[in-house]
Amino acid sequence: MSAPLVLSARSVAKRFGDFEALCALDLEVKTGECVGLLGPNGAGKSTFIGCLYGVVQRTGGELEVFGMDPAGQARAIKRRIGVVPQENALDEGLTVLENMRIYARFSGLKKASADERILQLLERMSLETKRDATINTLSGGMKRRLTFVRALLADPELLILDEPTTGLDPSVRHLLWETVTSLRSQGKTILVTTHYMHEAEVLCDRIVILDQGKVVAAGAPRELIAQETPGYVGIFSGDAQEDIRPHLKADWEFFHQGHQCCVRAPAFDDLLELQKSAGVDALQLRPANLEDVYLKLTGSELKQHD
């Protein structure tokens, strides 16, 4: 028997005046899944997330979170979710503990058990020594970890993470990845948006790529790579393209990424042979990855609406 649905979106639409931020978006997320929502700036990821807990009112389609419609039951939904929004939205003048106590009260936690839970989560996020520090004395990475503490206070069933690791150093990013992985193994459902393809590949069971308010691809990371960009990629300096072009085969793909040029071929040996016949050395040879899929499906150029 398959796991019950945590969220179900059918033809969800959102218009801001004449502009369609979401158009006929379909998505289902099952209990215990970790789903990555990817897409260019302006694709509609945050708008969709806002629709899930009633911060944004959809203008069309059907949407259910835990079987409830966010348009009328946002409060009941909010009690079961934890959100790490793009902006930390902490009260800068208050201390860490004061901020978390206010949120715990909003979440209906009893005072005595709330303090215990707050301290336990602060320790988990290596923030225990900062409990009496005011927010405006914390670094960006500390504030982000504190936003995770806040999202986890009420032990939510669904965790929504909107670009959780943007701008963080690798050690904080890895700490947050460990946290997400451990929540996954406890059976929590996670919806995460990110612009880091490696992060999505590492964390997510399933990837959903949005572009201009629509789902353009969905599947497990490995499945998407095998479907959309199978094979291996050689990255060469831009100067090498004249040497390379005469040796390309019909089923290979040639494309530019910034000032470099790239070749995608079915086998690793194809690229070794290309180096030899063209007399050039690649800067890098690697298996195709999620970034290749993303760039193929969404294009690497800036979109008009961004």
Using CB under 6 A, list all residues that contact ligand ATP. 16, 19, 21, 39, 41-47, 305
Is the separation of the CB atoms in 126 and 177 below 8 Å?
A: no
Q: Which is nearer to ligand ATP, 39 or 164 (CB)?
A: 39
Q: Which is nearer to ligand ATP, 2 or 304 (CB)?
A: 304
Q: Which is nearer to ligand ATP, 124 or 305 (CB)?
A: 305
Is the separation of the CB atoms in 289 and 224 below 8 Å?
A: no
Is the separation of the CB atoms in 147 and 176 below 8 Å?
A: no
Any idea of the CA torsion for 128, 130, 135, 140, to the nearest 10 degrees?
-80
In the complex, what is the shortest distance from the CB of residue 85 to ligand ATP, in angstroms, rounded to a whole number? Answer: 11
How far is it, in rounded angstroms, from Cα 90 to Cα 135? 7
Q: How many CB atoms lie within 10 A of CB 209?
A: 24
Q: Which is nearer to ligand ATP, 146 or 210 (CB)?
A: 210
Dihedral sign, Cα of residue 136, residue 85, residue 175, residue 77: positive
Q: Which is nearer to ligand ATP, 21 or 161 (CB)?
A: 21
In the complex, what is the shortest distance from the CB of residue 159 to ligand ATP, in angstroms, rounded to a whole number? Answer: 17
Q: Which is nearer to ligand ATP, 6 or 37 (CB)?
A: 37
Burial of 276 (0-12, 13-18, 19+ CB in 10 A): exposed
Q: Which is nearer to ligand ATP, 193 or 275 (CB)?
A: 193
How far is it, in rounded angstroms, from Cα 150 to Cα 83? 8
In the complex, what is the shortest distance from the CB of residue 12 to ligand ATP, in angstroms, rounded to a whole number? Answer: 12
In the complex, what is the shortest distance from the CB of residue 19 to ligand ATP, in angstroms, rounded to a whole number? Answer: 6
Which residues share a beta bridge with 237?
260
In the complex, what is the shortest distance from the CB of residue 221 to ligand ATP, in angstroms, rounded to a whole number? Answer: 19
Dihedral sign, Cα of residue 143, residue 208, residue 9, residue 66: negative
How far is it, in rounded angstroms, from Cα 293 to Cα 207? 11
In the complex, what is the shortest distance from the CB of residue 208 to ligand ATP, in angstroms, rounded to a whole number? Answer: 12
| AA letter at 115 | D
In the complex, what is the shortest distance from the CB of residue 16 to ligand ATP, in angstroms, rounded to a whole number? Answer: 3
